[in-house]
Structure 1
Amino acid sequence: MNKITVFILTLFTLSIQAQAQQIDTLEADLGEVVVTGFEGNRSVMETPGAITNIEAERVSGFDETSILYGLNTVPGVRIEQRAPGSYRVAIRGSSLRAPFGVRNVKIYWNDIPFTEPSGSTPLNLLDVINMQEVEVIRGPAGSIYGAGNGGALLLESRHSNQNEVGAGTMFGSYGLQRYTAFAEQQLSNGNFRFNYSNQHQDGYRDQSFFDRQTAELTGRFQLNDKQLIKTSFLYSNLNYGTPGGLTLEQYQNDPSQARPGNAFVLSSEEANASIYQETFLAGITHDVDITEAISNETTLYGTFSAFENPFNLDYKKDSRKSGGGRTRFYYDTYFGDVRTRFTIGGEYQAANYAARNFENDFGEAGTLNFDDEIKIQSSLLFLNTEIDLPREFYLTAGLSYNRLTYDLNRLVTNLEDDTTGVATKSFNPEIIPRVGLVKKFSPALSLHGSISYGFSPPTIEEFRTNEGSIALNLEAEQGTNFEVGARGTFRDLRFSYDLTTFYFKLDETIVQQPSGRNTTVVFENTGATDQYGIELATNWMIIQNPTEFLQNLDWRFSYTYHNFSFVNYRKDGENFSGNELTGVAPHTVVTTLRAETQPGFYANLSYNFTDEIPLNDANTVYSNSYNLVQSRIGFRKVLFENVNLDAYFGIDNLLDERYSLGNDLNAFGDRFYQPAAPRNWFGGLKVSVEL
């Protein structure tokens, strides 16, 4: 820690010394990044908080088959993929201990709440083609976005604001086939955009197939000089295999195998362990300037899904309907010379699930175990104030009021010691405050600090488990986050940095416990965690010269240090207090080098070092550290003035490392390992025409 502290102080001192020669032309050279943040829509240099904007070239900068590449370049963020399409997202370790899915992170797509009312997010329904940029908020953002200790992801669809059509294709190892198409049409008062993707892969492991089709139609319509309508329609048909975890011996002997079976449990192949989800989403947003000082943005949406999950131990079928909306009023005013913006709004979501669990009869739904009708209601009200104080201080203060209710009606049960009837869980209302302050010393340096409170109630999968338990005693995780950071640039070097340090204290941690019904896990609240961290991101534009052969050479670097440990944590009679938090790597480094030439040739090279990860609460089993190298070369050119060509080829896992990109934590039977693919390749071609 002493060396890190010295480094931070040195960086800050050098930045102060360099201010005099950086103020005048910095913004013109490096541009000004505007972020949504906490509904502020302002420069990141004036926004208190750990916020990163991932531009389109990073979202799709590697193989375009998943969002892992772009998001994993952000310090403090880790996306695991235990099989193609099986995402698990963690911001500052928020979700890696979850046995499945995306939880504890609030996600919006085109201003639509993409996170379900229970807190789970089917992020794998979206393709890279459905994202132009991603904004990442690290740390609790509940003062304006509700539940989620990890933070928030704000996703926006692709658009070009010009008439164009295009198509692309990609092929690669393990049967990879990918086809895309898009079209955008400008109107006198707006535009339409259509995006389509079709992706198939057999997978490196047995039972790791992947099939997904997405079709998206978005529109923007300027009704008049004060009103704008935005529409979003998404259809996604997703089916992927879940090969399951392996023991260390199985992992070493044959990492490509799926989880074997035994006399009591089917193998993943016999059970056809997989996820199938077909979803249609429709949303509409209305922006209106009510007066010169007051404006409103309101979003309404609805979602319909069919969900099936054959698993080694059971077979789950759900029919899901959900919908809701989000509205916020903005009031901009001045108190003397002090600019102030008030944001007040609310969000409401409701869902209705018909959820049935069966025995798995060799990949088919067998005897019914239980049949539930589930209703979920989630709501929040929020108020946020931004004040531009004298001497370039910027204050943000927010507060939200949150409620969540589960109503479960067990219609049928064939489980031993189980009964039918109604179970209701209304979580205690949560009041979530946040306050942040920025001091902007110049266009090249700002310091920020914040204190925020967060909470994360259990998802419906944790409240109502696959083996039939209903966890009425389960409560929300709660925590307080303290954070300070610095952002700055050295104009002469074309170098920028973003440094954040934080301490997060989490109570009522939700942990996994063995089940008495021979299934995966059940959940309970126990203990607490102390989480200290340092996150650093830098960007060095080494060469920027459009008249030379080598036009651009950019180097990005991110470093994450997470010192997370249990406090007062006992399980099964053992004391794990002081142990490292399961599933979190202490050190992670991601660095990328991107080069572009005048003839059109380009190259991307990425290196990822991930430290050893504790795989169980006892810290008796660790994954090996690994060094992952990814590369892509290509040729991009404008032909005939309006035809754009992009041909590329890439290699993933260039060093042929044996590693797990995702792990099963505290796994029953020590099946911790979900092996990633060895060295593999991909290549593709994209063509677009400006009309």
Structure 2
Amino acid sequence: MKYFLISILFITSFAFSQKKMATDSITKLNEVLLYQKVKIRHLNGIVPSSIITIQSFKNSSPSELSAHLNKISGVYVLSGALNTNRITIRGVGSRTPYGTDKVKLYYNDILVTNGSGFSTIEAYDLENLNAIEVIKGPKGTAFGANLGGAIVLRPNENLDPVTAFQNNVTVGSYGLFKNNLSFNHKTDKLSLDLRYGHLNVEGFRENNQYKRNGILLNTAYVINAKSKLSLLVNHIDYTAHIASSIDLDAFNDDPSQAAFTWKSTKGYEANTYKLTGFSLSHKFSEQLSNTTSVFYTHLDHYEPRPFNILDEITDGYGFRTQFKGDFYLNKKVANYTFGAEVYKDDYNWSTFENLYEENNDAGSLQGTALSLNKEKRSQFSAFGTFTYPFTNGFSAQLGVAINKTSYTYQDLFNSGSENKSGKRSFDAIVLPNLQLNYNFLKNQLLYANVSRGYSNPSLEETLTPEGVINPNIAQETGINYELGSQLQFLSTKLKLNTSIYQMNIKNMLVAQRIGDDQYIGKNAGSTKHQGFELDINYNYLISPKLKLMPTISYSYSNHKFVEFIDNDANYSGNPLTGVPKHRINTNMHFQWLSGLSLNTAYTYVSSIPLTDANTISSASYNLLNITIGYHKQLSKSLSFETSVGIQNVTNTNYAQSILINASSFGGRAPRYYYPGTPLNYYGSLQLRYRL
């Protein structure tokens, strides 16, 4: 924590010692400095959300999405590997064993969260994105009102006429090779962005190789002054070998080793993912517009594991429409939105014996079938908001969302009394949302929010230990209370954003492990999520040729079980498992007029409780990354940009992800830890040719 205090003193003294500031072209959108044109969207009504942009992406390796999301206060990504990420927002989702749920993920206006609530953000290439917007908590009425919130990925979109080719290649430690080739074309009528991406990493751990290829087409055509048609196609193939988690002794002695059984099976996952979406935007009048999207997703997943082999196919279909309008009420302009979202998917999965022990050390070998299943999942959401400015400085927004979820499970393997088919339909849930916004001075904002959110149980959580539908499992629900501010000082050069919140969640879903790959769910109590978030951005012109842009984000998370009794154990009052109490991210960014830049990034993460009893915790850690970049316009048409980076400068042995409540099988120690990458290097070169 001493590093945090030093950073605060440095930033504060530097800021308030300056009395006269020069103007520049850098703009601030909520919490992040922007360096190029980005289309501003108001996705979250009148309460601010958090946005990170393409310039922030350049300050770290383009192969690791988690490093960029972790710059946002309140958001913590635990990354066990490039294919294993768990996103938690204000503690929500921390108890999920693997992957990300309780957070909705969108690619533009297209929902890419599957029917059971899981999202795979790691499937998307960071270099294909222009920005990432995060709505923390259930206050995003139009984006599902999930307890964790929503994340919206924005693909690159040119706002000015251009025809250009661009290639960016990155090489680095542990066999890192990444290449992104793109063609961009923009006219008054047509916008086209076509990209091919390749990523290959050997990894520092055993059985840790990762390979991905992807093609992205993002195009739009202006039909007339009122209508625009858009097409998005994203195809990804990736194979990721799985090193899995290790126990404490292995973590301390040799973190590069893989878990023994995963190494023996040469375990991996192979995925083919397709997304196709059409969107039509139409402006009926100056007061009313609509955007409607239809989309299809397909995932083919094959995963040999020590305990069995999983083969699954998911086909998803969706529709989303949103109207926006305004009208005069008492001589003031009132705004409204309303719309609906429908998502259905067919999930087919089967498991097979893994005969790796009989395969002469060659790894996994598929045996006889163990199960054959199908699940149809359906979600319907309707939403609407009404915003009214009572005065020039004070406005309020009232929103409401309605969700209806149902599952139909078919056991295609067993018959008669052994068959476990069943249905589960949840009652429609109403999710109100009230937002208040007060601008008491120019560039000084106070806001408040009260909102209700929910989370659906995952597939495993809907089943009993016998594998049949559990009719008693309920959705998690919670109420979020939040106060915040966005303050600007020194001619808007210093920006200070704060928020304090409390979220009370009941019917807490607990995924209890009862076997190697067997989890059951139950509603086991309630939690209280209290926290404070601070973001500081300062933009200081040291000289006409040098600019300093320091940033700090700090998260304080006081999250506890209010009531949690698991069998005979009472964990009420204990800190919530899987959440660090303190988290700090600081960046010192120097930008020279010559095109040279230097960025140092420091991260502190406090200890994390690993068990509900709080008997074991991970160690706190500090990380330091350094990036040096240079940009040069060689001619009117040709430019290049290069950067080199050193990550984990101090070669810290730390847990980049953890597995909470890890079980012990066969007398072996529990495997809680996913080690982070030690000291490593990377270098990038980007060439851009504009016709």
- TM-score, with structure 2 as normaliser: 0.91
What is the Cα deviation at residue 49 of structure 1? 3.1
What is the Cα deviation at residue 572 of structure 1? 3.1
What is the Cα deviation at residue 470 of structure 1? 4.2
Q: Could you tell me which amino acid in structure 2 is paired with residue 608 of structure 1?
A: T
What is the Cα deviation at residue 378 of structure 1? 0.5
Report if aligned partners of 2:309, 2:352 keep a CA contact under 8 Å in 1. yes
For residue 264 of structure 1, what is the aligned residue in structure 2?
none
Secondary structure (helix, strand or coil) at the match of 1:58 reads helix
What is the Cα deviation at residue 29 of structure 1? 6.8
For residue 245 of structure 2, what is the aligned residue in structure 1?
245
Q: Give the distance between the partners of 2:23 and 2:330, measured in 1 at CA.
A: 28
Q: Give the distance between the partners of 1:111 and 1:46, measured in 2 at CA.
A: 13
Report if aligned partners of 2:145, 2:431 keep a CA contact under 8 Å in 1. no
Greater mean alpha carbon deviation, residues 275-284 or residues 488-497: 488-497
Q: Give the distance between the partners of 1:462 and 1:239, measured in 2 at CA.
A: 27
What is the Cα deviation at residue 342 of structure 1? 1.3
Q: Does 1:326 align with 2:327?
A: no
Report if aligned partners of 1:352, 1:375 keep a CA contact under 8 Å in 2. yes
Do the aligned partners of residues 521 and 46 (structure 1) sit closer, same or farther apart at CA in structure 2, a change above 3 Å counting? Answer: closer
For residue 33 of structure 1, what is the aligned residue in structure 2?
29
Q: Could you tell me which amino acid in structure 2 is paired with residue 689 of structure 1?
A: Y
Report if aligned partners of 1:512, 1:521 keep a CA contact under 8 Å in 2. yes
Deviations 1:476-520 (A, max 9, x none): 1110000000101113471001100000101111113231x5545
Q: Give the distance between the partners of 1:440 and 1:26, measured in 2 at CA.
A: 25
For residue 359 of structure 2, what is the aligned residue in structure 1?
none
Q: Does 1:372 align with 2:367?
A: no
What is the Cα deviation at residue 418 of structure 1? 7.8
Matches of residues 542-561 of structure 1 in structure 2 within 5 Å? 542-543=540-541, 547-548=544-545, 550=546, 552-561=547-556
For residue 38 of structure 1, what is the aligned residue in structure 2?
none
Q: Give the distance between the partners of 2:631 and 2:468, measured in 1 at CA.
A: 55
For residue 361 of structure 2, what is the aligned residue in structure 1?
none
Report if aligned partners of 1:32, 1:43 keep a CA contact under 8 Å in 2. no
Do the aligned partners of residues 667 and 590 (structure 1) sit closer, same or farther apart at CA in structure 2, a change above 3 Å counting? Answer: same
Deviations 1:163-216 (A, max 9, x none): 110112111111111111011112451211112210011111111111111110
Q: Give the distance between the partners of 1:426 and 1:633, measured in 2 at CA.
A: 54
Deviations 1:440-499 (A, max 9, x none): 112320100010000001123443599956444322111000000010111347100110
For residue 525 of structure 2, what is the aligned residue in structure 1?
527
Q: Does 1:487 align with 2:481?
A: no
What is the Cα deviation at residue 273 of structure 1? 2.4
For residue 658 of structure 1, what is the aligned residue in structure 2?
653
Secondary structure (helix, strand or coil) at the match of 1:69 reads helix
Q: Give the distance between the partners of 1:174 and 1:472, measured in 2 at CA.
A: 48
Q: Give the distance between the partners of 2:455 and 2:43, measured in 1 at CA.
A: 29
Matches of residues 63-212 of structure 1 in structure 2 within 5 Å? 63-141=61-139, 143-146=141-144, 148-160=146-158, 161=160, 162-212=162-212
For residue 232 of structure 1, what is the aligned residue in structure 2?
232
Q: Does 1:356 align with 2:356?
A: no
Q: Give the distance between the partners of 2:414 and 2:180, measured in 1 at CA.
A: 45
For residue 617 of structure 1, what is the aligned residue in structure 2?
612
Do the aligned partners of residues 63 and 488 (structure 1) sit closer, same or farther apart at CA in structure 2, a change above 3 Å counting? Answer: same
Q: Could you tell me which amino acid in structure 1 is paired with residue 325 of structure 2?
A: Y
Do the aligned partners of residues 44 and 498 (structure 1) sit closer, same or farther apart at CA in structure 2, a change above 3 Å counting? Answer: farther
Report if aligned partners of 1:87, 1:102 keep a CA contact under 8 Å in 2. yes
Do the aligned partners of residues 498 and 301 (structure 1) sit closer, same or farther apart at CA in structure 2, a change above 3 Å counting? Answer: same
Report if aligned partners of 1:119, 1:147 keep a CA contact under 8 Å in 2. no
Do the aligned partners of residues 418 and 585 (structure 1) sit closer, same or farther apart at CA in structure 2, a change above 3 Å counting? Answer: farther
What is the Cα deviation at residue 292 of structure 1? 2.4
Do the aligned partners of residues 165 and 274 (structure 1) sit closer, same or farther apart at CA in structure 2, a change above 3 Å counting? Answer: same
Report if aligned partners of 2:337, 2:386 keep a CA contact under 8 Å in 1. yes
Deviations 1:90-141 (A, max 9, x none): 1111112101111111111121111112211121210102211011111113
Q: Could you tell me which amino acid in structure 1 is paired with residue 209 of structure 2?
A: F
Matches of residues 227-376 of structure 1 in structure 2 within 5 Å? 227-260=227-260, 267-362=261-356, 363-376=364-377
Q: Could you tell me which amino acid in structure 1 is paired with residue 377 of structure 2?
A: I
Greater mean alpha carbon deviation, residues 149-158 or residues 334-343: 334-343
Report if aligned partners of 2:510, 2:524 keep a CA contact under 8 Å in 1. yes
Q: Give the distance between the partners of 2:399 and 2:197, measured in 1 at CA.
A: 39
For residue 34 of structure 2, what is the aligned residue in structure 1?
none
Q: Give the distance between the partners of 1:436 and 1:590, measured in 2 at CA.
A: 28
Report if aligned partners of 1:112, 1:301 keep a CA contact under 8 Å in 2. yes
Secondary structure (helix, strand or coil) at the match of 1:474 reads coil
Q: Does 1:569 align with 2:564?
A: yes
Report if aligned partners of 1:86, 1:101 keep a CA contact under 8 Å in 2. yes
Secondary structure (helix, strand or coil) at the match of 1:219 reads strand
For residue 578 of structure 1, what is the aligned residue in structure 2?
573
For residue 419 of structure 2, what is the aligned residue in structure 1?
420
What is the Cα deviation at residue 366 of structure 1? 2.0
Report if aligned partners of 1:147, 1:457 keep a CA contact under 8 Å in 2. no
Q: Give the distance between the partners of 1:465 and 1:285, measured in 2 at CA.
A: 40
Secondary structure (helix, strand or coil) at the match of 2:263 reads helix
What is the Cα deviation at residue 45 of structure 1? 13
- Aligned-residue sequence identity (percent) comes to 26
Matches of residues 383-394 of structure 1 in structure 2 within 5 Å? 383-394=384-395
Secondary structure (helix, strand or coil) at the match of 1:521 reads strand
What is the Cα deviation at residue 392 of structure 1? 1.3
Secondary structure (helix, strand or coil) at the match of 2:119 reads coil
Report if aligned partners of 2:325, 2:336 keep a CA contact under 8 Å in 1. yes
What is the Cα deviation at residue 379 of structure 1? 0.5
Report if aligned partners of 1:662, 1:673 keep a CA contact under 8 Å in 2. yes
Report if aligned partners of 1:46, 1:394 keep a CA contact under 8 Å in 2. no
For residue 507 of structure 2, what is the aligned residue in structure 1?
508
Structure 2 unaligned segments of length 5 or more: list them. 32-38, 357-363, 665-669
Greater mean alpha carbon deviation, residues 517-526 or residues 152-161: 517-526
Q: Give the distance between the partners of 1:494 and 1:685, measured in 2 at CA.
A: 31
Greater mean alpha carbon deviation, residues 45-54 or residues 388-397: 45-54
- TM-score, with structure 1 as normaliser: 0.91
Do the aligned partners of residues 142 and 638 (structure 1) sit closer, same or farther apart at CA in structure 2, a change above 3 Å counting? Answer: closer
What is the Cα deviation at residue 426 of structure 1? 0.5
Q: Give the distance between the partners of 2:56 and 2:686, measured in 1 at CA.
A: 17
Greater mean alpha carbon deviation, residues 455-464 or residues 570-579: 455-464
Q: Give the distance between the partners of 1:49 and 1:601, measured in 2 at CA.
A: 36
Greater mean alpha carbon deviation, residues 462-471 or residues 386-395: 462-471
Matches of residues 460-499 of structure 1 in structure 2 within 5 Å? 460-463=459-462, 468=467, 470-492=469-491, 494-499=493-498
Report if aligned partners of 1:59, 1:71 keep a CA contact under 8 Å in 2. no
What is the Cα deviation at residue 59 of structure 1? 2.9
Q: Does 1:382 align with 2:377?
A: no
For residue 589 of structure 2, what is the aligned residue in structure 1?
594
What is the Cα deviation at residue 525 of structure 1? 1.1
What is the Cα deviation at residue 270 of structure 1? 2.1
Secondary structure (helix, strand or coil) at the match of 2:81 reads coil
Q: Give the distance between the partners of 1:419 and 1:293, measured in 2 at CA.
A: 59
Q: Could you tell me which amino acid in structure 2 is paired with residue 203 of structure 1?
A: G
Q: Give the distance between the partners of 1:185 and 1:465, measured in 2 at CA.
A: 54
Do the aligned partners of residues 467 and 660 (structure 1) sit closer, same or farther apart at CA in structure 2, a change above 3 Å counting? Answer: farther
Q: Give the distance between the partners of 2:490 and 2:25, measured in 1 at CA.
A: 8
Report if aligned partners of 1:285, 1:297 keep a CA contact under 8 Å in 2. yes
Q: Give the distance between the partners of 1:522 and 1:80, measured in 2 at CA.
A: 23
Q: Give the distance between the partners of 1:45 and 1:150, measured in 2 at CA.
A: 16
Secondary structure (helix, strand or coil) at the match of 2:249 reads helix
Match of 1:59 among 53, 57, 60: 57
Q: Give the distance between the partners of 1:90 and 1:489, measured in 2 at CA.
A: 29
Report if aligned partners of 2:460, 2:520 keep a CA contact under 8 Å in 1. no
Q: Give the distance between the partners of 1:474 and 1:335, measured in 2 at CA.
A: 45
Structure 1 unaligned segments of length 5 or more: list them. 36-40, 261-266
Q: Could you tell me which amino acid in structure 2 is paired with residue 430 of structure 1?
A: I
Do the aligned partners of residues 310 and 461 (structure 1) sit closer, same or farther apart at CA in structure 2, a change above 3 Å counting? Answer: farther
For residue 621 of structure 2, what is the aligned residue in structure 1?
626
Report if aligned partners of 1:34, 1:42 keep a CA contact under 8 Å in 2. no
Q: Could you tell me which amino acid in structure 2 is paired with residue 33 of structure 1?
A: L
Q: Give the distance between the partners of 1:600 and 1:420, measured in 2 at CA.
A: 67
Q: Give the distance between the partners of 1:319 and 1:298, measured in 2 at CA.
A: 27
